[in-house]
């Protein structure tokens, strides 16, 4: 089943009473709740995620300083040369600096350990930060559209040469920031920050082109026309990021996983008769979790079946947080011919 389709799946089947959907008449149901972090068996460590968050925090901090500093440079320059375009771009960068600040603090919060109230920890704080960033970008985009509309109605004189020089410096600064952030896009929070920086980079590029056109032709409408290109790119990126953030916060199936195929692969493991109540969700932007009820043939062989499930889920799907509940169905077992009468 395609993940984009919202259809019923056999792996979702369950009885609202909490009893196995296969019935209880003459059955001997022995439920075992097994939970494991498969990384522990394979020699991996969850410290990898902590290292990524530590790196992200440092990257966000220095990108925040660089963005805020140059926004002040652009603001002062725009005021001195009477350039509304530069002043607008300075406001743009200042807003992005605020977005980076949110991303930074979200990263810091996500490092906190789990508590009795938040047993999964603060991993989704980065996703929440990404969603807040999306809201900032939406407000910014609406403001930019308003500014573009105003420029079409009332074209304003812009000093092309000064605009070109300051915009070129801004392009260099933003190019470095985008390059640094592009190396650390392992979380939605970092991707949201990069979208902000990419918007600044494109804004600087537009300002460079606009400055050149205005300098050589005196055509001031080049500024609002080229700005529309940036706005369309921002809208496209923002919509995709908001969609991904919403899926994670709603505990949706990770987009890189095929729900039906995961269920079929579990069912294909030797000793498993049925799989239901299968749930796969994001624990954080970088970690997936899975839980399921598994009907197995032999209670004594459950430990080996569990290890095989964990190994398959880790190696094929990179799912390391696995919770499986064992159900022994003697009638189905006899029907399948794997248990003596």
**DSSP string of 15-75, one letter each residue:** -TTSS-TT--TT-----EEEEEEHHHHHT--THHHHHHHHHHHHHHHHHHHHHHHHHHHHH
Cβ atoms of 204 and 174 closer than 8 Å? yes
Q: Which residues contact 2 (CB under 8 A, 6 or more apart)?
A: none
Cβ atoms of 67 and 101 closer than 8 Å? no
Task: Compute the distance between CA of residue 205 and CA of residue 169 in angstroms, rounded to an integer.
Answer: 10
Q: What is the pLDDT of residue 32?
A: 44
Cβ atoms of 178 and 198 closer than 8 Å? yes
CA angle 38, 15, 288 (to 5 degrees): 25
Q: What single DSSP character describes residue 184?
A: T
Q: What is the pLDDT of residue 340?
A: 53
CATH numbers and ranges of domains, the chain: 10-30+253-336 (3.30.70.1350), 47-249 (1.20.1510.10)
Q: What is the pLDDT of residue 239?
A: 81
pTM value > 0.75: no
* Residue whose tokens read 């810091």: 108
Q: What is the pLDDT of residue 7?
A: 57
Q: What is the pLDDT of residue 8?
A: 58
Exposed (0-12), middle (13-18) or buried (19+): which is 95, by Cβ within 10 Å?
Answer: buried
Q: What is the pLDDT of residue 310?
A: 93
Q: What is the pLDDT of residue 6?
A: 54
For each of the chain's 341 residues, which pLDDT tens digit applies?
A: 444 445 556 666 554 333 333 333 333 333 444 555 444 443 333 444 444 455 567 777 888 888 889 888 887 887 776 666 666 677 677 767 777 777 777 667 767 888 888 887 777 777 787 788 778 778 877 887 887 788 788 877 777 888 889 889 989 988 988 888 887 666 666 777 777 778 778 778 877 888 888 889 888 777 778 777 767 766 777 787 788 788 888 888 988 899 999 999 999 998 898 999 999 998 876 678 999 999 887 777 888 999 999 999 999 998 988 999 988 766 555 555 565 55
Q: Which structure tokens are listed for 122?
A: 């603060």
């Amino acid at each position: 089943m395609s993940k984009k389709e919202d259809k019923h799946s056999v792996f979702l089947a369950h009885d609202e009473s909490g009893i196995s959907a296969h019935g209880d008449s003459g059955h001997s149901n022995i439920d075992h709740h097994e939970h494991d972090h498969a990384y522990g068996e394979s020699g991996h460590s969850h410290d990898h995620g902590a290292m990524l968050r530590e790196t992200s925090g440092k990257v966000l901090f220095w990108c925040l300083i660089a963005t805020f500093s140059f926004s002040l440079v652009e603001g002062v320059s725009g005021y001195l040369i009477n350039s509304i375009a530069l002043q607008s771009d300075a406001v743009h960068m200042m807003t992005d600096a605020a977005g980076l600040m949110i991303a930074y603090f979200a990263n810091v919060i996500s490092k906190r350990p789990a508590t009795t109230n938040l047993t999964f920890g603060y991993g989704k704080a980065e996703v929440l930060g990404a969603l807040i960033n999306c809201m900032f970008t939406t407000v910014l985009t609406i403001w930019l559209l308003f500014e573009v509309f105003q420029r079409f109605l009332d074209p304003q004189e812009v000093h092309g040469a000064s605009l070109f020089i300051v915009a070129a410096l801004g392009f260099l600064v933003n190019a470095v920031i985008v390059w640094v952030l592009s190396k650390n896009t392992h979380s939605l929070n970092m991707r949201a920050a990069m979208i902000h920086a990419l918007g600044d980079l494109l804004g600087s590029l537009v300002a460079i082109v606009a400055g050149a056109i205005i300098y050589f032709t005196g055509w001031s409408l080049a500024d609002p026309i080229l700005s529309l290109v940036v706005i369309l790119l921002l809208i496209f990126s923002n919509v995709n990021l908001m969609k991904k953030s919403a899926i994670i916060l709603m505990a949706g199936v990770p987009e890189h996983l095929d729900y039906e195929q995961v269920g079929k692969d579990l069912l294909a493991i030797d000793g498993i008769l049925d799989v239901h109540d299968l749930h796969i969700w994001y624990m954080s932007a970088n970690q997936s979790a899975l839980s399921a009820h598994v009907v197995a043939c032999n209670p004594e062989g459950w430990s080996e079946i569990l290890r095989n499930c964990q190994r398959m889920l880790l190696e094929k799907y990179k799912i390391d947080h696995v919770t499986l509940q064992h159900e022994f169905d003697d009638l189905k077992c006899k029907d399948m011919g794997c248990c003596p009468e």
